[in-house]
Amino acid sequence: MQNEKLLEVRHLKKYFSTPRGQLHAVDDINFVIEKGKTLGVVGESGCGKSTLGRAVLRLQDPTSGEVIFQGEDILKYKAAKMKQLKKDMQLIFQDPFSSLNPRMTVSQAIAFPLIIQGVISQKDKAALDKRVNELMDLVGLAQRFVNSYPHELDGGRRQRIGIARALSLQPKFIVCDEPVSALDVSIQAQILNLMQDLQKEMGLTYMFITHDLSVVKHLSNDIMVMYLGMMVEYCSSDALFAKPLHPYTRALLSAIPVADPDCHMERVILRGEISSPIDPKPGCRFAGRCIYATEACVGEEIPLTEYEPGHFVACARINEIHS
Ligand SMILES: Nc1ncnc2c1ncn2[C@@H]1O[C@H](COP(=O)(O)OP(=O)(O)O)[C@@H](O)[C@H]1O
Ligand code: SF4
Ligand SMILES: [Mg+2]
């Protein structure tokens, strides 16, 4: 049986008008995520990851393209239908501190989406308390914190509140935008494990955004590497780590410390100018920093091509580099 497609994004673009021109934050992105799976979205700060996540959730309307969720293009939905859909599609932020109201206790913060979406009435205190307790258990937050304020908790516990809020409406799909980037490494692992357990338990589908490839290695089924708004490589997580193709992906990977003494991947230091995302010229946007760049890389758009079955890459010199 074929796996069920939950989300398909086609030719998605999000441009911002700036005084200097059109900023191509997300530029013709295509991908599919199957139900219960995770797509990792990786790239440096400013490459458009958050904008992509927000565009997919329609927190910011895309410039053009299609976002097909459960078979329907949600960009065509009117406000009322979109509000209904918000229950199914949620966002977990990098820094829950900035998204949590400092004057709300843990219990109020977790109850808030339930009240706003009309799932449980504010007057039904017993039902709200019961659901808040369930959600705190689900994310491993001890009941003794129920009346605590965000500033009284550490980063890991605050992120557990963020996850509980996202789960409160029983979503199908969650955009996780750098959810562990602000946490200590030891706490990162706990939160990642929690997210994996919840995924299995609840059949969740994730789009997991990070600037750190090592974070998504074990979590993602597929990985998309973005550079200045564009997708430069897209394949299974196993294929990406076994045989990274794009020079940019190779540079990102080489920056990850490895425990294996037999692994001799040389550290690639990225030098050169990062080109501007404003009215970018046709050609490879990575050319200014790529050691393989020649005139073949500029002047014309470089399409994403299937180099090996299921392994896509956008590089004009891919055959020469990997011959
Ligand atoms: N509201 C906005 N108005 C103008 N430019 C924006 C806006 N939001 C993001 N950008 C720009 O879009 C690009 C992508 O930003 P972002 O999606 O936040 O990247 P990332 O999450 O990968 O760090 C950046 O150049 C950023 O400056
Ligand atoms: S197209 Fe050229 S500049 Fe871009 S990654 Fe490939 S070799 Fe480097
Ligand atoms: Mg971001």
CA of 46 to the centre of ligand 1 (A): 6
Residue 154 corresponds to which tokens in the numbers above? 């550490």
Can you give the pLDDT at residue 218? 85
Residue nearest to ligand 1 atom 3, measured at CA: 16
Q: Which residues pair with 298 in a beta bridge?
A: 283
Tens-place pLDDT, residues 68-87: 999 999 999 999 999 889 89
Q: Which of 54, 67, 5 is nearest to 33 (CA)?
A: 5
Query: Does ligand 2 have an atom closer than 6 angstroms to the CB of 287?
Result: yes
Residue 5 corresponds to which tokens in the numbers above? 């497609």
Can you give the pLDDT at residue 268? 74
Computed on alpha carbons and rounded to an integer, the radius of gyration of the chain in Å comes to: 21
Position 2 confidence tier, pLDDT thresholds 50, 70, 90:
low
* Buried/exposed code over 18-45 (b: 16+ C-beta within 10 A; e: otherwise): eeeeebbbbbbbbbebbebbbbbbbbee
| Residue 234 neighbours by CB under 8 Å, 6+ apart | 31, 222, 223, 224, 225, 304, 311, 312, 313
Mean pLDDT in residue range 101-105: 94
pLDDT for 283 beyond 60: yes
Position 264 confidence tier, pLDDT thresholds 50, 70, 90:
low
CA of 34 to the centre of ligand 3 (A): 23
CA of 231 to the centre of ligand 3 (A): 16
C-alpha 243/C-alpha 318 separation (Å) is: 13
Can you give the pLDDT at residue 201? 96
pLDDT for 261 beyond 70: no
Mean pLDDT in residue range 227-256: 95
Q: How far is CA 131 from CA 15, 149, 177, 219, in A?
A: 40, 19, 25, 28
Tally the residues of the chain: 323
Strands 222-227 and 230-236: antiparallel
Ligand nearest to the CA of 293: 2
**Secondary structure (DSSP) of 236-259:** EHHHHHH---SHHHHHHHHTS--S
Q: Is 5-88+171-243 assigned to CATH 1.10.10.10? A: no
Tens-place pLDDT, residues 172-214: 999 999 999 989 988 999 999 999 999 999 999 999 999 999 8
Place of tokens 């913060």: 109
Ligand nearest to the CA of 318: 2
Domain residue ranges in the chain: 5-88+171-243
Choose the weakest-confidence range: 83-87, 91-95, 259-263: 259-263
* pTM of the shown model: 0.95
Q: How far is CA 158 from CA 96, 141, 163, in A?
A: 6, 9, 9
Ligand 1 lining (C-beta closer than 6 Å): 16, 18, 23, 25, 43, 45-51, 277
Query: Does ligand 2 have an atom closer than 6 angstroms to the CB of 314?
Result: no
Place of tokens 């030719």: 11
CA of 78 to the centre of ligand 3 (A): 27
Mean pLDDT in residue range 234-243: 97
Residue 201 carries which side chain, given as an amino acid letter? E
CA of 64 to the centre of ligand 1 (A): 17
Ligand nearest to the CA of 94: 3
For ligand 1, mutation pick of 12, 13, 16 (most atoms within 8 Å of CB): 16
Percent of residues, the chain, with pLDDT higher than 70: 96
Tens-place pLDDT, residues 45-75: 999 999 999 999 999 999 999 999 999 999 9
Ligand nearest to the CA of 51: 1
CA of 296 to the centre of ligand 3 (A): 31
For the CA of 321, the nearest atom of ligand 2:
7
Percent of residues, the chain, with pLDDT higher than 90: 86
| Residue 14 neighbours by CB under 8 Å, 6+ apart | 25, 26, 48, 51, 52, 55, 60, 62, 63
Tens-place pLDDT, residues 110-127: 999 999 999 999 999 999
Q: Which of 238, 140, 281, 127 is nearest to 198 (CA)?
A: 140
For the CA of 316, the nearest atom of ligand 2:
1
For the CA of 246, the nearest atom of ligand 2:
5
For the CA of 318, the nearest atom of ligand 2:
6
CA of 274 to the centre of ligand 1 (A): 15
C-alpha 131/C-alpha 108 separation (Å) is: 12
Can you give the pLDDT at residue 270? 80
The phi and psi torsions of 48 (rounded to 5 degrees) equal 110, 10
CA of 301 to the centre of ligand 2 (A): 11
Query: Does ligand 2 have an atom closer than 6 angstroms to the CB of 227?
Result: no
Can you give the pLDDT at residue 245? 97
**Secondary structure (DSSP) of 10-78:** EEEEEEEEETTEEEEEEEEEEEEEETT-EEEEE--TTSSHHHHHHHHTTSS--SEEEEEETTEEGGG--
C-alpha 38/C-alpha 1 separation (Å) is: 19
